[in-house]
Amino acid sequence: MQPTLFSTLHLTVSQITFHIRKMLENDPQLQDVWVEGEISNLSKPNSGHIYFTLKDKNASLRCVMWKADATRLRINIRDGMSIEAHGKIAVYEPQGQYQLIVNSIQPKGEGALYQEFLRLKTMLQAEGIFDEERKRAIPELPRVIGIVTSETGAALRDMLNTLRRRLPLARVILAPSPVQGVDAPPALVKALAALNKQQPDVILLARGGGSIEDLWAFNDERVVRAVADSNAPVICGVGHETDFTLCDFAADLRAPTPTAAAELATPTTLNDLQESLSDFDARLSSSMLNLVADEKSSLAALVSRLKYVSPERQIQSSYQRLDELSRRALSALTHRIALQSKHVDGISKKLQALNPEAILSRGYAIITRNEDGAVVSKIIQAQGKMKARLSDGEFDIIRDS
């Protein structure tokens, strides 16, 4: 085709690059895509970003993984590795290149496993196997704790250490089973069944961390059903915090790690038991002290009632009455004496009025004969020596005529 000066589009490089960028970045399919291929030209500069090219037989695609996503990578990628990369298509304008901005990478094949995981999950969910109503409570203080895990794994050691620290009172029954590989699912099912016959209070189903393939036995339909059918409540602690298996959903409780599973299986610890024991001890003592105090006070009440009715009290009361009478007698007597004394005073005054001495003080005299002491009231009687008594004394007198 001949170029024509009258073409409708006439753009700068920047403008057309911007246009292409808008086209690609506005396509939702290209903004959320899995791309499968082989890694080449892998470069990990100090910036922390990762650059590589994804290739297959006929094409190649430049890829960038920014530092924030690169630090979350759980697999060690290298040249030649077949992977599935998830991300969005973007355009790097200075180079005029389109590229995949990768935010997560998984080994090839995981995508298919994940699809299977989703299919099984949907199916079992529809059956109600994961229903919340099915979940049983974990006992507060288990006596027998069953463990299904590998006999040689670090998970078992971690769980036993945790149980030993938190609740050494418990008995542990281990039902060993391989936890990965084709033999694992039937062995896990058998271990769960054998353990249930021992009637443990709770079962820990656990495995340490690993890749999604390593953990796959815990997504096996047979194992998931065995967990759901277990008589004893099951705590599932498989892999790490971020790993979810179907057993986690079927279990009565999901723990992020085996150690956490052991912790969740022992809600009450030795410490708690010791605390509640001292609590009981204190209640025991105080109830006894209260009891004794109650007895003492009812005894005291009886004693006071007894005192009230005792002969001692009657005797005291008689004494009191006696005292009262004697006090009244005394007071009556005193009164009488006072009256009498007043009476005597009156008589004494009258007597005083009759006293001849009073007449003497008015100028009279009493003359008595010395001879016989007779009062001389007539001249004929005046003989011999006599005494004249005046108000202030007496003197001798003789008749001389």
- State the residues that interact with another protein by CB under 8 A: 141, 143, 151-152, 157, 160, 163-164, 167-176, 191, 194-195, 197-198, 270, 273-274, 277, 280-281, 283-284, 287-288, 291, 295
Residue 327 CB, shortest distance to another protein, in Å, is 48
Between 54 and 265, CB nearer to another protein = 265
Between 182 and 273, CB nearer to another protein = 273
Between 70 and 232, CB nearer to another protein = 232
CB 389 within 8 A of CB 366: yes
Between 70 and 202, CB nearer to another protein = 202
Residue 194 CB, shortest distance to another protein, in Å, is 5
Between 87 and 258, CB nearer to another protein = 258
Residue 309 CB, shortest distance to another protein, in Å, is 24
Contacting residues for 145 by C-beta, under 8 A, at least 6 apart: 163, 170, 171, 172, 173, 200, 201, 202, 203, 204, 265, 266
Residue 285 CB, shortest distance to another protein, in Å, is 8
Between 39 and 172, CB nearer to another protein = 172
Residue 302 CB, shortest distance to another protein, in Å, is 14
Between 53 and 162, CB nearer to another protein = 162
Residue 276 CB, shortest distance to another protein, in Å, is 8
CB 256 within 8 A of CB 241: yes
Neighbours of 338 (CB within 10 A): 10
Residue 288 CB, shortest distance to another protein, in Å, is 5
- Pick from 183, 185, 176, 186: which is nearest to 147 by CA? 176
Between 274 and 331, CB nearer to another protein = 274
Residue 162 CB, shortest distance to another protein, in Å, is 10
